[in-house]
């Protein structure tokens, strides 16, 4: 995928898709802001950009390796952001993450990500949809990026919420596949753990950006970043509540299985008691000693009547007490 670049001047897009070597030339213009996107950059690309923007070597190393936790590192004259977008496959409820790193200076935003895995077109579309904010420079570009990421978190959490509601509805159906419910619960819980691992550090990232001592935010952009921060908090709280629900579903499913096992055991025990009646009666009449009706048709009929009568009596009693 090609390298993408943009230059804004006084809030107006004046150039696009220019070479990396021209970044310093555009930054030399007054009131200009540059955005550079590097998909799968090589060391030479980042070395050139680091020289152009005076980037710290540790930040460059993090951008090359990726696989960082969401964070915001402060250096002398720039910031380094590591964040993730989230996609969810609704059919399986599995969450996938796509990492993006960003170098943030007073007049430049440089994004780094794996080729083809991060939907940067959606971020560009978001920038283009709010041109009235472009005069705020880098904070306008950074807000568009963070707003896109956090909106993705909301979409993922909402999808998982729908999945959990469906699972709750299935939980008490009589013919529900309990093994499938349990497997689905584990998948949902795993996805929620992944979400929490991504969203929780983002709270601190956005909170740090709101600090006045960074001198990054224009006064006009402050409320927009505060709105992003509020959305992160809501997504985090929603994720925590869904984790509790997923845990409750697992526990309820196990409890239901235990209750069903108890019901089955109770019914088997009841029928075993009924079956014991013929065994006891025939055992008594099978004695090798004389008794009333011994070796006579009366003995046969009386034993049969006793078996049927006691069995029916036990069945009625157990049925009335809901034991079978």
Q: Enter the tokens of residue 260.
A: 């069903």
User: At residue 157, does pLDDT exceed 80?
Assistant: yes
Q: What is the pLDDT of residue 82?
A: 92
Please report the DSSP string for 4-43 in residue order: EEEEEETTEEEEES--GGGHHHHHTSTTEEEEEEEES--H
Spatial neighbors of 231 by CB under 8 A, at least 6 apart, are: 150, 151, 153, 154
Helices and strands (H, E) in the chain, number of each type = 8, 7
Q: What is the pLDDT of residue 89?
A: 85
Q: Place 117 in a pLDDT band, splitting at 50, 70 and 90.
A: confident
- d(C-alpha 33, C-alpha 20), whole Å: 14
Pick from 156, 138, 155: which is nearest to 225 by CA? 138
User: At residue 1, does pLDDT exceed 60?
Assistant: no
Q: 10 Å Cβ neighbour count for 246?
A: 24
Q: What is the pLDDT of residue 293?
A: 62
Task: Name the CATH superfamily for 4-257.
Answer: CorA soluble domain-like (3.30.460.20)
83: three-class secondary structure by DSSP: strand
Ranking 73-87, 159-173, 263-277, 294-308 by mean pLDDT, the lowest is: 294-308
Instruction: Give this prediction's pTM.
Output: 0.77
pLDDT tens profile 46-74: 888 888 788 888 888 888 887 888 999 98
Q: What is the pLDDT of residue 213?
A: 66
Q: What is the pLDDT of residue 284?
A: 65
* Strand residue runs (E) in the chain: 4-9, 12-16, 32-39, 71-74, 79-89, 94-104, 108-113
b/e for 154-190, b at 16 or more Cβ within 10 A?
Answer: bebbebbbebbeebeebbeeeeeeeeebeebbebbbe
Q: Enter the tokens of residue 186.
A: 């584990």
User: At residue 176, does pLDDT exceed 60?
Assistant: yes
- d(C-alpha 275, C-alpha 99), whole Å: 67
Average pLDDT, the chain: 83
Please report the DSSP string for 183-230 in residue order: HHHHHHHHHHHHHHHHHHHHHHHHHHHT-GGG--S-GGGHHHHHHHHH
Q: How confident is the model over 151-160, as a mean pLDDT? A: 90
Task: Choose from 45-49, 133-137, 169-173, 177-181 the range with maximum mean pLDDT.
Answer: 133-137
Give the percent of the chain with pLDDT over 90.
16
Q: What is the pLDDT of residue 35?
A: 92
Q: Enter the tokens of residue 178.
A: 């309990």
Q: How confident is the model over 35-51, as a mean pLDDT? A: 84
Spatial neighbors of 128 by CB under 8 A, at least 6 apart, are: none
- Is pLDDT larger for residue 128 or for residue 260? 128
Q: How confident is the model over 89-99, as a mean pLDDT? A: 85
Q: How confident is the model over 253-273, as a mean pLDDT? A: 77
Ranking 29-33, 76-80, 286-290 by mean pLDDT, the lowest is: 286-290
pLDDT tens profile 135-149: 888 889 999 999 999
Chain centroid offset of residue 6 CA: 34
- d(C-alpha 300, C-alpha 274), whole Å: 20
Q: What is the pLDDT of residue 83?
A: 92
Q: Place 120 in a pLDDT band, splitting at 50, 70 and 90.
A: confident
Pick from 200, 116, 106, 109: which is nearest to 153 by CA? 200
Q: What is the pLDDT of residue 294?
A: 63
Q: Place 217 in a pLDDT band, splitting at 50, 70 and 90.
A: low
- d(C-alpha 199, C-alpha 153), whole Å: 8
Q: What is the pLDDT of residue 278?
A: 78
User: At residue 259, does pLDDT exceed 80?
Assistant: no
């Amino acid at each position: 995928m090609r390298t993408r670049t943009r230059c804004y001047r006084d809030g107006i897009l004046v150039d696009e898709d220019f070479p990396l070597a021209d970044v310093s030339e555009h930054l030399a213009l007054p009131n200009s802001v540059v955005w550079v996107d590097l998909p799968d950059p090589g060391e030479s690309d980042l070395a050139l950009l680091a020289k152009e923007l005076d980037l710290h070597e540790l930040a460059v190393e993090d951008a090359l390796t990726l696989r960082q936790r969401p964070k915001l590192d402060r250096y002398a004259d720039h910031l380094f952001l590591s964040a993730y977008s989230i996609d969810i496959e609704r059919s399986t409820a599995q969450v996938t993450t796509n990492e993006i790193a960003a170098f943030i200076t007073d007049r430049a935003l440089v994004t780094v990500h794996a080729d083809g895995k991060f939907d940067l077109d959606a971020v560009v579309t978001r920038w283009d949809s709010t041109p009235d904010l472009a005069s705020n420079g880098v904070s306008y570009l950074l807000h568009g990026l963070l707003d896109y990421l956090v909106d993705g978190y909301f979409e993922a959490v909402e999808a998982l919420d729908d999945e959990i509601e469906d699972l709750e509805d299935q939980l008490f159906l009589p013919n529900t596949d309990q093994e499938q419910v349990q497997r689905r619960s584990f998948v949902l819980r795993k996805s929620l753990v992944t979400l929490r691992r991504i969203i929780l550090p983002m709270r601190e990232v956005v909170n740090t950006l709101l600090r006045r001592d960074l001198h990054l935010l224009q006064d006009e952009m402050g409320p927009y970043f505060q709105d992003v921060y509020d959305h992160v908090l809501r997504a985090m709280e929603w994720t925590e509540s869904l984790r509790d629900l997923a845990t409750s579903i697992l526990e309820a499913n196990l409890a239901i299985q235990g209750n069903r096992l108890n019901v089955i055991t109770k019914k088997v025990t009841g029928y075993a008691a009924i079956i014991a009646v013929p065994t006891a009666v025939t055992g008594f009449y099978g004695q090798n000693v004389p008794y009333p009706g011994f070796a006579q048709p009366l003995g046969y009929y009386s034993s049969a009547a006793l078996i049927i009568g006691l069995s029916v009596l036990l069945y009625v009693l157990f049925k009335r007490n809901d034991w079978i």
